[in-house]
Amino acid sequence: MLSRFIDLKSRQLVFYLSRFLRGHLPYRELHLFVWDTLEEWSQLRVYDLRPESFKEQVFWHLLYQIEYWSEPELRHNKLLRRELQYCLGFLYGHGELPLSCVGVRP
């Protein structure tokens, strides 16, 4: 059940974040997606903080980055945007595990 949740939410995250990075989605929609995802996760009642897979690790890392950085940073910081796109590529099934992505479950 957890892997299905991560698979579904990873696909949605790729959609939302890539559209935001291209300027086709308002920040508030991305922010709402993150909080809706966290609400759904809390209903699963998972208590282990360790991700089960590298995909899950990258997923949680991206959610954290979206909430940690301000909207202007997410839009204009080229280094940050490159890191986010690299992580998105991994979730999409391209490339290797980004070494800078250290995600844990909330």
> Which tens digit of pLDDT belongs to each residue from 12-32?
999 999 999 999 999 999 999
Model confidence at 96, pLDDT cuts 50, 70, 90, reads confident
Task: Please list the alpha-helical segments (H only) found in the chain.
Answer: 2-21, 27-44, 54-68, 71-76, 78-92
d(CA 78, CA 26): 19
d(CA 89, CA 50): 22
Token pair belonging to 101:
């992505």
Q: What is the pTM of this model?
A: 0.93
pLDDT digits (tens, 9 = 90+) for 40-84: 999 998 988 889 999 999 999 999 999 999 999 999 999 999 999
